[in-house]
Chain A
Amino acid sequence: MDPATLLFSTSHEWLHLDGDQATIGITDFAVEHLTDLVFVDLPEPGRALAAGEIFGEVESVKAVSDLYAPVTGEVTEINTALPDDLDALSEDPFGRGWMIRMTVSDATAAESLLNEIAYRTHCNAAGH
Protein backbone atom coordinates (compact mmCIF):
# COMPACT_ATOMS: atom_id res chain seq x y z
CA MET A 1 0.00 0.00 0.00
CA ASP A 2 1.26 3.47 -0.76
CA PRO A 3 1.84 5.38 2.46
CA ALA A 4 0.73 8.55 0.76
CA THR A 5 -2.82 7.14 0.66
CA LEU A 6 -2.89 6.28 4.36
CA LEU A 7 -3.81 8.02 7.59
CA PHE A 8 -1.58 7.88 10.67
CA SER A 9 -2.01 8.08 14.43
CA THR A 10 0.56 9.59 16.77
CA SER A 11 0.76 6.16 18.42
CA HIS A 12 2.17 4.92 15.08
CA GLU A 13 -0.72 2.92 13.64
CA TRP A 14 -1.63 3.38 9.98
CA LEU A 15 -5.16 3.21 8.62
CA HIS A 16 -6.39 2.54 5.12
CA LEU A 17 -10.03 3.48 4.59
CA ASP A 18 -12.10 2.24 1.68
CA GLY A 19 -15.74 3.04 2.30
CA ASP A 20 -16.54 1.35 5.60
CA GLN A 21 -13.67 -1.14 5.19
CA ALA A 22 -10.51 -0.38 7.15
CA THR A 23 -7.08 -2.03 7.14
CA ILE A 24 -4.74 -1.30 10.03
CA GLY A 25 -1.06 -1.86 10.75
CA ILE A 26 1.94 -0.15 12.32
CA THR A 27 4.44 2.14 10.64
CA ASP A 28 8.02 1.54 9.53
CA PHE A 29 9.04 4.12 12.14
CA ALA A 30 7.44 2.09 14.96
CA VAL A 31 8.95 -1.16 13.76
CA GLU A 32 12.40 0.35 13.60
CA HIS A 33 12.13 1.77 17.09
CA LEU A 34 10.92 -1.40 18.69
CA THR A 35 13.87 -3.24 17.10
CA ASP A 36 13.73 -6.98 16.60
CA LEU A 37 10.12 -7.95 17.07
CA VAL A 38 9.49 -11.31 18.64
CA PHE A 39 5.74 -11.54 19.10
CA VAL A 40 2.48 -10.02 17.97
CA ASP A 41 -0.87 -10.51 19.63
CA LEU A 42 -3.97 -9.81 17.54
CA PRO A 43 -7.68 -9.89 18.49
CA GLU A 44 -10.26 -12.47 17.53
CA PRO A 45 -12.35 -11.62 14.46
CA GLY A 46 -15.76 -10.44 15.58
CA ARG A 47 -14.45 -8.29 18.37
CA ALA A 48 -16.00 -4.82 18.60
CA LEU A 49 -13.46 -2.03 19.03
CA ALA A 50 -13.94 1.60 19.98
CA ALA A 51 -11.55 4.20 18.61
CA GLY A 52 -8.59 4.46 20.98
CA GLU A 53 -9.13 0.98 22.42
CA ILE A 54 -6.20 -1.43 22.68
CA PHE A 55 -6.60 -4.22 20.12
CA GLY A 56 -3.33 -6.07 20.58
CA GLU A 57 0.35 -5.67 21.19
CA VAL A 58 3.74 -6.08 19.66
CA GLU A 59 6.70 -7.25 21.68
CA SER A 60 10.43 -7.01 21.14
CA VAL A 61 13.09 -8.44 23.42
CA LYS A 62 13.27 -5.31 25.54
CA ALA A 63 9.95 -3.52 24.97
CA VAL A 64 6.24 -3.96 24.49
CA SER A 65 3.85 -1.66 22.68
CA ASP A 66 0.09 -1.62 22.76
CA LEU A 67 -1.80 -1.30 19.50
CA TYR A 68 -4.68 1.19 19.41
CA ALA A 69 -7.72 1.07 17.14
CA PRO A 70 -7.82 4.32 15.13
CA VAL A 71 -11.56 4.05 14.41
CA THR A 72 -14.65 2.36 15.84
CA GLY A 73 -16.00 -0.85 14.34
CA GLU A 74 -15.80 -4.64 14.30
CA VAL A 75 -12.78 -6.78 13.48
CA THR A 76 -13.54 -8.86 10.39
CA GLU A 77 -10.20 -10.43 9.63
CA ILE A 78 -6.73 -10.68 11.08
CA ASN A 79 -3.43 -11.35 9.37
CA THR A 80 -2.99 -14.92 10.57
CA ALA A 81 0.30 -15.29 8.73
CA LEU A 82 1.90 -12.47 10.68
CA PRO A 83 2.81 -14.23 13.97
CA ASP A 84 4.96 -16.67 12.02
CA ASP A 85 6.30 -14.07 9.60
CA LEU A 86 7.36 -11.18 11.83
CA ASP A 87 9.91 -10.11 9.27
CA ALA A 88 6.96 -8.89 7.19
CA LEU A 89 6.70 -6.00 9.66
CA SER A 90 10.17 -4.74 8.90
CA GLU A 91 10.23 -5.73 5.21
CA ASP A 92 6.77 -4.55 4.17
CA PRO A 93 4.96 -2.78 7.04
CA PHE A 94 2.32 -1.20 4.77
CA GLY A 95 1.64 -4.37 2.80
CA ARG A 96 2.40 -7.90 4.00
CA GLY A 97 2.67 -6.53 7.55
CA TRP A 98 -0.99 -5.50 7.83
CA MET A 99 -2.60 -6.54 11.10
CA ILE A 100 -6.39 -6.33 11.12
CA ARG A 101 -9.35 -5.47 8.89
CA MET A 102 -12.43 -3.82 10.32
CA THR A 103 -15.91 -2.85 9.26
CA VAL A 104 -16.10 0.73 10.44
CA SER A 105 -19.24 1.90 12.22
CA ASP A 106 -17.97 5.32 13.21
CA ALA A 107 -15.10 6.99 11.38
CA THR A 108 -15.21 10.31 13.24
CA ALA A 109 -11.91 9.58 14.95
CA ALA A 110 -10.21 9.35 11.56
CA GLU A 111 -10.68 13.08 11.16
CA SER A 112 -7.97 13.78 13.72
CA LEU A 113 -5.47 11.39 12.12
CA LEU A 114 -2.44 12.72 10.25
CA ASN A 115 -1.49 12.43 6.61
CA GLU A 116 1.93 11.07 5.74
CA ILE A 117 3.73 14.40 5.69
CA ALA A 118 2.28 15.50 9.02
CA TYR A 119 3.09 12.12 10.52
CA ARG A 120 6.72 12.24 9.40
CA THR A 121 7.02 15.74 10.83
CA HIS A 122 5.58 14.48 14.09
CA CYS A 123 8.15 11.67 14.24
CA ASN A 124 11.03 14.05 13.61
CA ALA A 125 9.76 16.54 16.18
CA ALA A 126 9.50 13.83 18.79
CA GLY A 127 13.26 13.77 18.53
CA HIS A 128 13.81 10.11 18.11
Chain B
Amino acid sequence: MAYLFNTPDEIAAMLDAIGADSIDELFSQIPDRLQLDGPLDLPGGLSEPALEAHLRQLAAANSGTAARICLMGGGVYDHFIPAAVDEIASRGEFYTAYTPYQAEASQGSLQAFFEFQTLICQLTGMDISNASLYEAGTAVSEAVFMAMRVTRRHGRVVVLGSLHPEYQQVLETYLDNLECQLEIVATPNGFADVSIVSEALDDTTCCLVIQHPNFFGGLEDVAPLCQAAHDAGSLAVVCFDPLSLGLLKSPADCGADIAVAEGQALGIPAQYGGPFLGLLTCRKEFVRQMPGRLIGQTTDREGRDCYVLNLQAREQHIRREKATSNICTNQGLLALRATVYLALLGREGLNEVSQLCCRKAHYAAQRLAELPGIELMFDRPFFKEFTIRCRDGAKSVIDRAAAAGFDLGPTLARFPRLTASLGDAAAQETLLVAVTEQRTREEIDGLVDALATEPAKLSSQP
Protein backbone atom coordinates (compact mmCIF):
# COMPACT_ATOMS: atom_id res chain seq x y z
CA MET B 1 0.00 0.00 0.00
CA ALA B 2 2.07 2.83 -1.33
CA TYR B 3 2.14 6.15 0.50
CA LEU B 4 -0.58 5.35 3.08
CA PHE B 5 -0.11 6.08 6.75
CA ASN B 6 -2.79 4.37 8.78
CA THR B 7 -1.86 1.26 10.75
CA PRO B 8 -4.55 -1.31 11.61
CA ASP B 9 -4.73 0.05 15.17
CA GLU B 10 -5.15 3.56 13.96
CA ILE B 11 -7.82 2.54 11.48
CA ALA B 12 -9.76 0.94 14.32
CA ALA B 13 -9.40 4.03 16.51
CA MET B 14 -10.43 6.31 13.67
CA LEU B 15 -13.51 4.28 12.81
CA ASP B 16 -14.39 4.31 16.46
CA ALA B 17 -14.19 8.10 16.59
CA ILE B 18 -16.31 8.35 13.46
CA GLY B 19 -18.82 5.88 14.83
CA ALA B 20 -18.60 3.55 11.87
CA ASP B 21 -17.93 -0.17 11.85
CA SER B 22 -15.91 -0.30 8.70
CA ILE B 23 -14.49 1.80 5.92
CA ASP B 24 -17.10 0.21 3.66
CA GLU B 25 -19.80 1.83 5.75
CA LEU B 26 -18.40 5.25 4.86
CA PHE B 27 -19.17 4.49 1.24
CA SER B 28 -22.81 3.73 1.96
CA GLN B 29 -23.82 6.95 0.17
CA ILE B 30 -22.85 5.27 -3.07
CA PRO B 31 -25.72 2.98 -4.01
CA ASP B 32 -24.62 -0.65 -3.80
CA ARG B 33 -25.40 -1.47 -7.38
CA LEU B 34 -23.01 1.28 -8.50
CA GLN B 35 -20.11 -0.09 -6.50
CA LEU B 36 -17.63 -2.26 -8.38
CA ASP B 37 -17.71 -5.82 -7.19
CA GLY B 38 -14.13 -6.60 -8.12
CA PRO B 39 -10.81 -4.92 -8.70
CA LEU B 40 -10.25 -2.79 -11.76
CA ASP B 41 -8.46 -4.35 -14.69
CA LEU B 42 -5.16 -2.54 -14.16
CA PRO B 43 -1.62 -3.90 -14.17
CA GLY B 44 -0.38 -5.02 -10.75
CA GLY B 45 1.52 -2.61 -8.52
CA LEU B 46 5.30 -2.27 -8.90
CA SER B 47 7.99 -1.60 -6.31
CA GLU B 48 10.21 1.41 -6.87
CA PRO B 49 13.12 -0.62 -8.33
CA ALA B 50 10.78 -2.54 -10.62
CA LEU B 51 9.08 0.66 -11.73
CA GLU B 52 12.42 2.27 -12.43
CA ALA B 53 13.57 -0.69 -14.50
CA HIS B 54 10.32 -0.54 -16.47
CA LEU B 55 10.60 3.20 -17.12
CA ARG B 56 14.24 2.88 -18.13
CA GLN B 57 13.21 0.29 -20.65
CA LEU B 58 10.53 2.54 -22.08
CA ALA B 59 12.91 5.50 -22.14
CA ALA B 60 15.54 3.46 -23.95
CA ALA B 61 13.08 2.84 -26.78
CA ASN B 62 13.09 6.58 -27.57
CA SER B 63 15.71 8.85 -29.07
CA GLY B 64 16.09 12.06 -27.15
CA THR B 65 18.50 14.92 -27.57
CA ALA B 66 21.00 12.99 -25.47
CA ALA B 67 21.00 10.20 -28.06
CA ARG B 68 21.62 12.24 -31.20
CA ILE B 69 22.68 15.76 -32.02
CA CYS B 70 19.51 17.81 -32.25
CA LEU B 71 18.88 20.30 -35.04
CA MET B 72 15.13 19.92 -34.84
CA GLY B 73 12.75 22.85 -34.74
CA GLY B 74 9.09 23.58 -35.25
CA GLY B 75 8.67 25.48 -32.00
CA VAL B 76 10.65 23.14 -29.73
CA TYR B 77 14.39 23.73 -29.49
CA ASP B 78 17.46 22.20 -27.92
CA HIS B 79 18.74 25.18 -25.98
CA PHE B 80 21.11 24.70 -23.06
CA ILE B 81 19.52 24.46 -19.61
CA PRO B 82 21.82 25.58 -16.77
CA ALA B 83 21.98 23.26 -13.75
CA ALA B 84 20.71 26.01 -11.46
CA VAL B 85 17.34 25.94 -13.25
CA ASP B 86 16.80 22.28 -12.37
CA GLU B 87 18.09 22.87 -8.87
CA ILE B 88 15.53 25.58 -8.08
CA ALA B 89 12.64 23.89 -9.88
CA SER B 90 13.23 20.73 -7.86
CA ARG B 91 12.79 22.51 -4.52
CA GLY B 92 9.76 20.87 -2.92
CA GLU B 93 8.74 24.21 -1.43
CA PHE B 94 8.04 25.37 -4.97
CA TYR B 95 6.94 22.33 -6.87
CA THR B 96 4.67 20.83 -4.21
CA ALA B 97 2.88 24.10 -3.40
CA TYR B 98 -0.57 24.99 -4.73
CA THR B 99 -1.62 28.13 -6.59
CA PRO B 100 -0.72 31.00 -4.23
CA TYR B 101 -4.26 31.85 -3.12
CA GLN B 102 -3.17 32.15 0.53
CA ALA B 103 -0.72 35.02 0.19
CA GLU B 104 0.86 34.72 3.63
CA ALA B 105 1.81 31.10 2.94
CA SER B 106 3.01 31.72 -0.61
CA GLN B 107 5.24 34.79 -0.74
CA GLY B 108 8.00 32.69 -2.33
CA SER B 109 5.91 31.73 -5.35
CA LEU B 110 4.21 35.10 -5.56
CA GLN B 111 7.44 37.07 -5.60
CA ALA B 112 8.98 34.68 -8.13
CA PHE B 113 5.97 35.15 -10.43
CA PHE B 114 6.08 38.92 -9.98
CA GLU B 115 9.71 38.70 -11.08
CA PHE B 116 8.64 36.50 -13.98
CA GLN B 117 6.13 39.12 -15.13
CA THR B 118 8.80 41.79 -14.87
CA LEU B 119 11.43 39.79 -16.76
CA ILE B 120 8.99 39.06 -19.57
CA CYS B 121 8.15 42.77 -19.80
CA GLN B 122 11.85 43.63 -19.91
CA LEU B 123 12.41 41.02 -22.60
CA THR B 124 9.54 42.14 -24.83
CA GLY B 125 9.27 45.82 -24.03
CA MET B 126 5.55 45.28 -23.44
CA ASP B 127 3.75 46.86 -20.47
CA ILE B 128 2.31 43.82 -18.71
CA SER B 129 2.69 40.07 -18.69
CA ASN B 130 0.41 37.54 -17.06
CA ALA B 131 1.72 34.67 -14.94
CA SER B 132 1.53 32.03 -17.74
CA LEU B 133 -0.84 30.19 -20.05
CA TYR B 134 -0.62 26.54 -21.15
CA GLU B 135 1.50 26.90 -24.29
CA ALA B 136 1.77 29.01 -27.43
CA GLY B 137 -1.26 27.63 -29.32
CA THR B 138 -3.65 28.51 -26.52
CA ALA B 139 -1.81 31.79 -25.92
CA VAL B 140 -2.56 32.76 -29.53
CA SER B 141 -6.21 31.79 -29.06
CA GLU B 142 -6.50 33.71 -25.79
CA ALA B 143 -4.92 36.73 -27.48
CA VAL B 144 -7.55 36.57 -30.22
CA PHE B 145 -10.37 36.34 -27.66
CA MET B 146 -8.84 39.29 -25.87
CA ALA B 147 -8.69 41.27 -29.10
CA MET B 148 -12.39 40.60 -29.66
CA ARG B 149 -13.18 42.02 -26.22
CA VAL B 150 -10.94 45.04 -26.65
CA THR B 151 -12.11 45.97 -30.15
CA ARG B 152 -15.68 44.67 -29.66
CA ARG B 153 -15.28 43.16 -33.12
CA HIS B 154 -16.37 39.55 -33.42
CA GLY B 155 -16.53 39.20 -37.19
CA ARG B 156 -13.17 37.81 -38.17
CA VAL B 157 -9.57 37.25 -37.30
CA VAL B 158 -6.81 37.34 -39.90
CA VAL B 159 -3.89 34.97 -39.44
CA LEU B 160 -0.76 34.65 -41.55
CA GLY B 161 -0.26 31.25 -43.15
CA SER B 162 3.26 31.32 -41.75
CA LEU B 163 1.94 30.87 -38.20
CA HIS B 164 2.81 27.46 -36.75
CA PRO B 165 0.23 25.09 -38.30
CA GLU B 166 -0.57 23.56 -34.91
CA TYR B 167 -1.29 27.00 -33.44
CA GLN B 168 -3.58 27.60 -36.40
CA GLN B 169 -5.36 24.36 -35.63
CA VAL B 170 -5.77 25.25 -31.97
CA LEU B 171 -7.22 28.63 -32.88
CA GLU B 172 -9.59 26.97 -35.32
CA THR B 173 -10.79 24.65 -32.55
CA TYR B 174 -11.24 27.52 -30.11
CA LEU B 175 -13.34 29.42 -32.66
CA ASP B 176 -15.38 26.33 -33.49
CA ASN B 177 -18.72 27.44 -32.06
CA LEU B 178 -18.28 31.18 -32.29
CA GLU B 179 -19.36 33.56 -35.01
CA CYS B 180 -15.82 34.82 -35.62
CA GLN B 181 -14.42 33.73 -39.00
CA LEU B 182 -10.83 32.60 -39.32
CA GLU B 183 -9.16 34.00 -42.42
CA ILE B 184 -5.75 32.59 -43.28
CA VAL B 185 -3.60 34.64 -45.64
CA ALA B 186 -1.45 32.29 -47.69
CA THR B 187 2.31 32.81 -47.57
CA PRO B 188 3.61 30.79 -50.54
CA ASN B 189 6.95 32.61 -50.47
CA GLY B 190 7.51 31.82 -46.83
CA PHE B 191 6.53 35.26 -45.59
CA ALA B 192 3.60 37.63 -45.78
CA ASP B 193 3.10 40.32 -48.39
CA VAL B 194 1.93 43.42 -46.53
CA SER B 195 -0.32 44.65 -49.33
CA ILE B 196 -2.17 41.32 -49.59
CA VAL B 197 -2.59 41.23 -45.82
CA SER B 198 -3.95 44.79 -45.81
CA GLU B 199 -6.66 43.75 -48.21
CA ALA B 200 -7.72 40.93 -45.93
CA LEU B 201 -8.27 43.28 -43.00
CA ASP B 202 -11.61 45.00 -42.66
CA ASP B 203 -13.66 46.86 -40.09
CA THR B 204 -14.95 43.64 -38.53
CA THR B 205 -11.44 42.21 -38.01
CA CYS B 206 -10.47 42.02 -34.33
CA CYS B 207 -6.80 41.33 -34.96
CA LEU B 208 -4.01 40.20 -37.23
CA VAL B 209 -1.85 37.33 -35.95
CA ILE B 210 1.80 37.35 -37.01
CA GLN B 211 4.54 34.91 -36.05
CA HIS B 212 8.07 36.28 -36.17
CA PRO B 213 10.39 34.52 -36.80
CA ASN B 214 7.68 32.55 -38.54
CA PHE B 215 7.11 28.81 -38.69
CA PHE B 216 9.48 28.48 -41.67
CA GLY B 217 12.13 30.37 -39.73
CA GLY B 218 11.78 33.52 -41.84
CA LEU B 219 11.52 37.07 -40.59
CA GLU B 220 8.29 38.94 -41.28
CA ASP B 221 7.99 42.67 -41.90
CA VAL B 222 6.43 43.04 -38.48
CA ALA B 223 6.27 46.80 -38.16
CA PRO B 224 4.45 47.41 -41.47
CA LEU B 225 2.14 44.46 -40.73
CA CYS B 226 1.26 45.91 -37.31
CA GLN B 227 0.68 49.26 -38.99
CA ALA B 228 -1.67 47.62 -41.50
CA ALA B 229 -3.64 46.10 -38.61
CA HIS B 230 -3.86 49.45 -36.87
CA ASP B 231 -4.97 51.17 -40.07
CA ALA B 232 -7.94 48.80 -40.11
CA GLY B 233 -8.68 49.51 -36.46
CA SER B 234 -7.56 45.98 -35.55
CA LEU B 235 -5.04 44.88 -32.98
CA ALA B 236 -1.68 43.36 -33.90
CA VAL B 237 -0.89 40.08 -32.15
CA VAL B 238 2.74 39.00 -32.50
CA CYS B 239 3.95 35.51 -31.63
CA PHE B 240 7.68 35.86 -30.98
CA ASP B 241 10.72 33.72 -30.07
CA PRO B 242 11.95 34.84 -26.63
CA LEU B 243 15.58 33.99 -27.38
CA SER B 244 15.59 36.07 -30.55
CA LEU B 245 15.19 39.25 -28.54
CA GLY B 246 18.87 39.74 -27.78
CA LEU B 247 19.19 40.49 -31.48
CA LEU B 248 15.85 41.23 -33.09
CA LYS B 249 13.55 44.19 -32.49
CA SER B 250 11.16 43.60 -29.64
CA PRO B 251 7.42 43.11 -30.21
CA ALA B 252 6.80 46.46 -28.53
CA ASP B 253 9.17 48.24 -30.92
CA CYS B 254 7.38 46.64 -33.85
CA GLY B 255 4.02 47.94 -32.67
CA ALA B 256 2.46 44.80 -31.18
CA ASP B 257 -0.61 45.32 -29.02
CA ILE B 258 -0.54 41.80 -27.66
CA ALA B 259 2.60 39.65 -27.82
CA VAL B 260 2.55 35.93 -27.12
CA ALA B 261 5.15 33.19 -27.26
CA GLU B 262 6.13 29.65 -26.61
CA GLY B 263 8.45 29.89 -23.61
CA GLN B 264 9.95 26.41 -23.99
CA ALA B 265 13.28 27.91 -25.02
CA LEU B 266 13.59 29.49 -21.55
CA GLY B 267 15.00 26.55 -19.62
CA ILE B 268 12.31 23.97 -20.34
CA PRO B 269 13.12 20.51 -21.72
CA ALA B 270 11.37 19.09 -24.81
CA GLN B 271 9.38 16.44 -22.85
CA TYR B 272 7.60 15.24 -25.96
CA GLY B 273 5.79 18.54 -26.29
CA GLY B 274 4.81 19.58 -22.78
CA PRO B 275 4.45 20.93 -20.20
CA PHE B 276 5.58 24.13 -21.89
CA LEU B 277 4.95 27.77 -21.14
CA GLY B 278 2.51 30.13 -22.84
CA LEU B 279 3.55 33.77 -22.57
CA LEU B 280 1.05 36.60 -22.98
CA THR B 281 1.88 40.29 -22.74
CA CYS B 282 0.00 43.40 -23.76
CA ARG B 283 -0.47 47.12 -23.46
CA LYS B 284 -1.41 48.53 -20.06
CA GLU B 285 -4.85 49.67 -21.06
CA PHE B 286 -6.02 46.11 -21.82
CA VAL B 287 -5.25 44.81 -18.35
CA ARG B 288 -8.83 44.00 -17.36
CA GLN B 289 -9.32 42.02 -20.55
CA MET B 290 -6.33 39.77 -19.90
CA PRO B 291 -6.72 36.03 -19.37
CA GLY B 292 -4.94 34.15 -16.60
CA ARG B 293 -3.45 35.07 -13.27
CA LEU B 294 -1.73 38.34 -12.49
CA ILE B 295 0.50 38.94 -9.49
CA GLY B 296 0.46 42.43 -8.00
CA GLN B 297 2.64 44.21 -5.52
CA THR B 298 1.02 45.77 -2.47
CA THR B 299 1.75 46.29 1.22
CA ASP B 300 0.63 44.29 4.22
CA ARG B 301 -0.91 45.23 7.57
CA GLU B 302 2.46 46.50 8.75
CA GLY B 303 3.36 48.32 5.57
CA ARG B 304 5.77 45.68 4.29
CA ASP B 305 6.02 45.17 0.52
CA CYS B 306 4.38 41.95 -0.51
CA TYR B 307 2.68 40.18 -3.41
CA VAL B 308 -0.85 38.93 -4.05
CA LEU B 309 -2.96 37.42 -6.79
CA ASN B 310 -4.40 40.57 -8.28
CA LEU B 311 -7.45 41.57 -10.35
CA GLN B 312 -8.97 38.16 -9.71
CA ALA B 313 -12.40 39.51 -10.62
CA ARG B 314 -11.47 38.75 -14.27
CA GLU B 315 -11.07 35.06 -13.49
CA GLN B 316 -13.37 32.05 -13.58
CA HIS B 317 -13.65 31.56 -9.83
CA ILE B 318 -15.30 34.97 -9.50
CA ARG B 319 -16.73 35.94 -12.86
CA ARG B 320 -17.70 32.41 -13.91
CA GLU B 321 -19.27 32.43 -17.40
CA LYS B 322 -18.20 36.02 -17.95
CA ALA B 323 -14.57 35.36 -17.07
CA THR B 324 -11.88 36.47 -19.51
CA SER B 325 -10.75 32.82 -19.77
CA ASN B 326 -11.54 29.43 -18.27
CA ILE B 327 -7.92 28.84 -17.27
CA CYS B 328 -7.35 27.86 -13.63
CA THR B 329 -4.31 25.60 -13.21
CA ASN B 330 -1.62 27.28 -15.32
CA GLN B 331 2.07 26.50 -15.89
CA GLY B 332 3.52 27.95 -12.68
CA LEU B 333 6.54 25.70 -12.34
CA LEU B 334 7.55 26.37 -15.94
CA ALA B 335 7.23 30.11 -15.30
CA LEU B 336 9.59 29.59 -12.36
CA ARG B 337 12.05 27.79 -14.64
CA ALA B 338 11.90 30.69 -17.10
CA THR B 339 12.44 33.16 -14.27
CA VAL B 340 15.57 31.40 -13.08
CA TYR B 341 16.78 30.96 -16.65
CA LEU B 342 16.40 34.64 -17.50
CA ALA B 343 17.97 35.69 -14.19
CA LEU B 344 21.01 33.56 -15.03
CA LEU B 345 21.14 34.78 -18.60
CA GLY B 346 21.09 38.48 -17.84
CA ARG B 347 21.33 41.14 -20.51
CA GLU B 348 24.71 40.03 -21.84
CA GLY B 349 23.80 36.37 -21.82
CA LEU B 350 20.66 37.09 -23.81
CA ASN B 351 22.63 38.99 -26.42
CA GLU B 352 25.18 36.21 -26.65
CA VAL B 353 22.72 33.40 -26.99
CA SER B 354 20.77 35.26 -29.68
CA GLN B 355 23.90 36.01 -31.65
CA LEU B 356 25.28 32.49 -31.34
CA CYS B 357 22.03 30.95 -32.60
CA CYS B 358 21.89 33.36 -35.49
CA ARG B 359 25.52 32.94 -36.57
CA LYS B 360 25.54 29.16 -36.30
CA ALA B 361 22.24 28.84 -38.12
CA HIS B 362 23.60 30.93 -40.98
CA TYR B 363 26.76 28.88 -41.11
CA ALA B 364 24.73 25.66 -41.20
CA ALA B 365 22.37 27.02 -43.85
CA GLN B 366 25.24 28.10 -46.04
CA ARG B 367 27.04 24.76 -45.71
CA LEU B 368 23.90 22.68 -46.30
CA ALA B 369 22.97 24.73 -49.36
CA GLU B 370 26.37 23.90 -50.87
CA LEU B 371 25.32 20.26 -51.07
CA PRO B 372 24.00 19.08 -54.40
CA GLY B 373 20.29 18.38 -54.12
CA ILE B 374 19.73 20.66 -51.15
CA GLU B 375 18.64 24.28 -51.34
CA LEU B 376 17.07 26.86 -49.09
CA MET B 377 13.36 26.76 -49.76
CA PHE B 378 12.77 30.49 -49.29
CA ASP B 379 14.87 33.50 -50.09
CA ARG B 380 14.19 35.25 -46.84
CA PRO B 381 16.23 36.46 -43.87
CA PHE B 382 15.98 34.12 -40.92
CA PHE B 383 17.12 33.90 -37.30
CA LYS B 384 17.94 30.40 -36.01
CA GLU B 385 15.73 28.19 -38.14
CA PHE B 386 15.32 27.72 -41.87
CA THR B 387 13.54 25.52 -44.37
CA ILE B 388 15.45 23.36 -46.83
CA ARG B 389 14.24 21.57 -49.91
CA CYS B 390 15.86 18.23 -50.70
CA ARG B 391 15.63 16.58 -54.07
CA ASP B 392 15.88 13.12 -52.48
CA GLY B 393 12.87 13.83 -50.31
CA ALA B 394 12.79 15.15 -46.78
CA LYS B 395 12.28 11.76 -45.22
CA SER B 396 15.35 10.28 -46.84
CA VAL B 397 17.49 13.21 -45.66
CA ILE B 398 16.13 12.94 -42.11
CA ASP B 399 16.85 9.20 -42.10
CA ARG B 400 20.38 9.65 -43.43
CA ALA B 401 21.09 12.35 -40.87
CA ALA B 402 19.74 10.12 -38.09
CA ALA B 403 21.92 7.23 -39.22
CA ALA B 404 24.90 9.55 -38.84
CA GLY B 405 23.75 10.71 -35.39
CA PHE B 406 21.81 13.92 -36.20
CA ASP B 407 18.15 14.79 -35.85
CA LEU B 408 16.56 17.18 -38.36
CA GLY B 409 12.99 18.15 -39.03
CA PRO B 410 10.09 18.11 -38.86
CA THR B 411 9.28 17.68 -42.50
CA LEU B 412 6.53 20.00 -43.64
CA ALA B 413 4.62 17.01 -44.98
CA ARG B 414 3.74 16.29 -41.38
CA PHE B 415 1.28 19.20 -41.38
CA PRO B 416 -1.80 18.74 -43.57
CA ARG B 417 -2.33 22.51 -43.67
CA LEU B 418 1.07 23.00 -45.29
CA THR B 419 0.70 20.21 -47.79
CA ALA B 420 -2.49 21.94 -48.83
CA SER B 421 -0.86 25.34 -49.27
CA LEU B 422 2.59 24.32 -50.61
CA GLY B 423 1.46 21.34 -52.61
CA ASP B 424 2.10 17.77 -51.61
CA ALA B 425 5.21 17.30 -53.72
CA ALA B 426 6.93 20.36 -52.31
CA ALA B 427 5.94 19.49 -48.75
CA GLN B 428 7.40 16.01 -49.14
CA GLU B 429 10.74 17.57 -50.05
CA THR B 430 10.97 20.23 -47.36
CA LEU B 431 12.01 20.18 -43.76
CA LEU B 432 12.98 22.53 -40.97
CA VAL B 433 16.46 22.82 -39.53
CA ALA B 434 17.04 24.73 -36.30
CA VAL B 435 20.46 25.56 -34.92
CA THR B 436 20.82 26.61 -31.32
CA GLU B 437 23.80 27.99 -29.44
CA GLN B 438 24.59 24.38 -28.45
CA ARG B 439 25.67 23.26 -31.89
CA THR B 440 29.36 23.42 -32.71
CA ARG B 441 31.03 23.99 -36.03
CA GLU B 442 32.36 20.46 -35.83
CA GLU B 443 28.85 19.05 -35.47
CA ILE B 444 27.53 21.13 -38.34
CA ASP B 445 30.44 20.09 -40.54
CA GLY B 446 29.82 16.48 -39.51
CA LEU B 447 26.19 16.72 -40.56
CA VAL B 448 27.15 18.24 -43.90
CA ASP B 449 29.75 15.52 -44.51
CA ALA B 450 27.25 12.81 -43.67
CA LEU B 451 24.69 14.22 -46.08
CA ALA B 452 27.34 14.69 -48.77
CA THR B 453 27.95 10.96 -48.86
CA GLU B 454 26.05 9.15 -51.58
CA PRO B 455 22.76 7.96 -50.08
CA ALA B 456 23.13 4.55 -51.68
CA LYS B 457 26.29 3.83 -49.67
CA LEU B 458 24.46 4.17 -46.36
CA SER B 459 22.53 1.30 -44.96
CA SER B 460 18.89 2.36 -44.95
CA GLN B 461 17.22 3.07 -41.65
CA PRO B 462 13.67 1.88 -41.06
Contact = CB atoms under 8 A, between A and B. Distances in A.
Interface of A: 38-39, 41, 59-64
Contacts of A60: 313
A62 B318 contact: yes
Interface string B89-126: 00000000000000000000000000000000000000
A64 to B, nearest CB: 5
16 contacts: A38-B313, A39-B288, A39-B313, A41-B288, A60-B313, A61-B312, A61-B313, A62-B312, A62-B313, A62-B318, A63-B313, A63-B318, A64-B313, A64-B318, A64-B319, A64-B322
Interface in B288-322: 288, 312-313, 318-319, 322
Contacts of B319: 64
B100 to A, nearest CB: 16
Contacts of B318: 62-64
Nearest to B317: A62
Contacts of B313: 38-39, 59-64
A108 to B, nearest CB: 28
Interface in B252-294: 288
Nearest to A62: B318
B151 to A, nearest CB: 14
Interface size for chain B: under 10, 10 to 19, 20 to 34, or 35 or more residues?
under 10
B222 to A, nearest CB: 31
Given A38-B313, A64-B313, A64-B322, 14 more contacts: A39-B288, A39-B313, A41-B288, A59-B313, A60-B313, A61-B312, A61-B313, A62-B312, A62-B313, A62-B318, A63-B313, A63-B318, A64-B318, A64-B319
Contacts of A59: 313
A63 B319 CA distance: 7
Nearest to A60: B313
Contacts of B288: 39, 41
A92 to B, nearest CB: 24
B263 to A, nearest CB: 29
A63 B318 CA distance: 6
A63 B323 CA distance: 12
Nearest to A64: B313
A38 B314 CA distance: 12
Nearest to B319: A64
10 smallest beta-carbon distances between A and B, as pairs: A59-B313, A64-B313, A64-B319, A62-B318, A64-B318, A63-B318, A63-B313, A39-B288, A61-B313, A61-B312
A16 to B, nearest CB: 28
Nearest to B310: A61
Nearest to A66: B322
A60 B288 CA distance: 13
A59 B313 CA distance: 7
B338 to A, nearest CB: 28
B385 to A, nearest CB: 43
Contacts of A61: 312-313
A95 to B, nearest CB: 26
A40 B322 CA distance: 16
Interface in B189-239: none
Nearest to B320: A64
Most chain B beta-carbon contacts within 10 A, residue among A39, A62, A64:
A64
A61 B309 CA distance: 10
Most chain B beta-carbon contacts within 10 A, residue among A39, A59, A62, A63:
A59
Most chain A beta-carbon contacts within 10 A, residue among B312, B313, B318, B322:
B313
Contacts of A41: 288
A31 to B, nearest CB: 16
A108 B288 CA distance: 35
A60 B318 CA distance: 10
Contacts of B322: 64
A26 to B, nearest CB: 16
A65 to B, nearest CB: 10
Nearest to A39: B288
Nearest to A58: B313
A111 to B, nearest CB: 30
